Amino acid sequence: MRVAIVGGGAVGVTAAHDLAVHGEDVVLFEKGNIPNEDASTGRAAGVLYDAFAAPEDARIGERAIERFREFSGTGGFEFVETPYVWFARIGDEKRARAIREQVPRMQEQGRDVSFIDDDVLAERYPTLNTEDVAVAAIGRNTGRTDPGSYAKAVAEEAKKAGAEIRTGIEVAVRFDPPRIVSEDGDEVFDAVVVATGVHTKRVLGDAGIAVPLKPYRVQALTCEFEDDTDVPMVYDATEGYYLRPHPDGLLAGDGTEEVESDPDEWKRESDEEFVSAMEDRLAHRLGANSREFAPNVERSWAGLCNATPDYDPLLGELRPGLYVAAGWQGHGFMRAPGLGEAVARDVLGEGGIPEFDPTRFTGDEEFDIVEGMAVE
């Protein structure tokens, strides 16, 4: 089978790798480089967890973490085991109730997740200020990484398995039959997988297919942090921000803009308001035991995520031989090894994920953008 993958992000390179390992004739097209620092994978946070309550999400999350571990040590990619803590603050009963309800459901799906008392949390991670924590949970099948290193390493493994990687080439997608159109002409394939992230709506729209996707902007920064105690990955569900250890010290982010962004013309730089707010949040959260912490921001930036009407991705066959893999709500990179594997299996006729079937929508749905990590 001859298969084209359009998009060299984490999901695209994984699908290309898996299909090539299976013995298929694979060509991956990427308009930039791999990794593409201007694309979603290159700007992702690198927070990796499988703490999902829905069965299909838990399965994908579990498989993704398993494969991150398998790939770790390959081509400069490293999966760093790091616990993931999330909590709601005192006075936020809505999110506290949601966490209390979700943790048992995650446990039912076999996730290594449990509640953790604030005093135990403070003892285990003395840097964290836990005085305002109402309810907290901890996931242990979790870790962190540099997203770009994954895309680069898996692309190299795909090439070793026989995949052809064409970078610096912009293409158009057509179907009936599935084919790729570029300056080199038309190439017909048995299957085409569109994994172009926030450009997916335009790429498919140019082929005459409407899909309900909305790109939205998120923000992050890195700052210096020197401490002789461990810091876990943390998500404050009340304020909607996260932090994690990073080679520069700490990486932290939120900044979800609940408005649609242009996937080509958008502000790559962070907002001053975002940086100021994150400085205050980090000073508060990492200022335990009379310790003063004044974040020294090294770098800040913005990236794009893709929303769908029901917050689940579009993953599977849209038209005969034409597949889509997009709409991750900010959870794309952390699930990429599982998502890429799933769309590859669908191409091979082994079945997809019914809950993510892209034909469940007409493409003209009206919907609001909601933060992907939100605990509701």
Report pLDDT for 193: 98
Q: Which residues of 74-93 are buried (b: 16+ CB within 10 A; e: fewer)?
A: eeebbbeebbbbbbbbeebe
Residues 219-261 have pLDDT tens digits of 999 999 986 568 999 999 999 999 999 998 999 998 688 899 9
Residue 100 lies in a domain: yes
Same domain, residue pair 110 and 35: no
Q: Is residue 373 part of a domain?
A: no
CB 19 within 8 A of CB 154: no
Q: Which residue range is the domain that position 187 belongs to? A: 2-74+146-212+308-360
Question: Residue 290 — pLDDT band, cuts 50, 70, 90?
Answer: low
Q: Is residue 113 part of a domain?
A: yes
The answer to whether residue 87 is domain-embedded is: yes
CATH number of the domain residue 264 falls in: 3.30.9.10
CB-CB neighbours of 197 under 10 Å: 27
The predicted model scores a pTM of: 0.96
* Residue 20 buriedness (CB in 10 A; 0-12 / 13-18 / 19+): buried
246 and 317 within one domain: no
Which residues in 145-293 belong to E strands, given as ranges? 164-167, 172-174, 179-182, 185-188, 191-194, 214-223, 233-236, 241-246, 249-254
User: What are the tens digits of pLDDT across the range 79-95?
Assistant: 999 999 999 999 999 99
Q: What is the domain count for the chain? A: 2
* 365 part of a folded domain: no
Residue 296 falls inside a structural domain: yes
Q: What is the pLDDT of residue 374?
A: 73
pLDDT grade for 119, boundaries at 50, 70 and 90 = very high
Half-sphere exposure of 246 (CA within 13 A, CB side): 25
- Residues 70, 219 share a domain: no
Are 152 and 301 found together in one domain?
Answer: no
CATH of the domain at 349: 3.50.50.60
Same domain, 227 and 181: no
Q: Is the same domain home to 8 and 122? A: no
Q: What separation in angstroms does the CA of 227 have from each of 77, 235, 236, 293?
A: 25, 20, 21, 10
- Residue-wise pLDDT tens digits, 6-51: 999 999 999 999 999 999 999 999 999 999 877 788 889 999 999 9
Q: What is the dihedral of CA 28, 33, 37, 42, to 10 degrees?
A: 30
* Predicted local confidence at residue 228, as pLDDT: 57
Is the domain of 86 the same as that of 128? yes
Q: Are residues 236 and 297 in the same domain?
A: yes
In a domain, 317, yes or no: yes
Q: What is the pLDDT of residues 189-210, one digit of tens each?
A: 999 999 999 999 999 999 999 9
Average pLDDT value over all residues in the chain:
95
Confidence category of residue 126, pLDDT binned at 50, 70, 90:
very high
Half-sphere exposure of 257 (CA within 13 A, CB side): 21
Among residues 224, 246, 225, 243, the alpha carbon closest in space to that of 235 is found at: 243
100 and 178 share one domain: no
Q: Report the pLDDT value the prediction gives residue 256, as an integer from 0 to 100.
A: 80
Q: Which of 300, 274, 287 is nearest to 221 (CA)?
A: 300
154 with 53, same domain?
A: yes
Same domain as 343, residue 281: no
Same domain, 159 and 293: no
Q: Which pLDDT value is given to residue 253? A: 95
Average pLDDT over residues 327-342: 96
Flag whether 62 is in a domain: yes
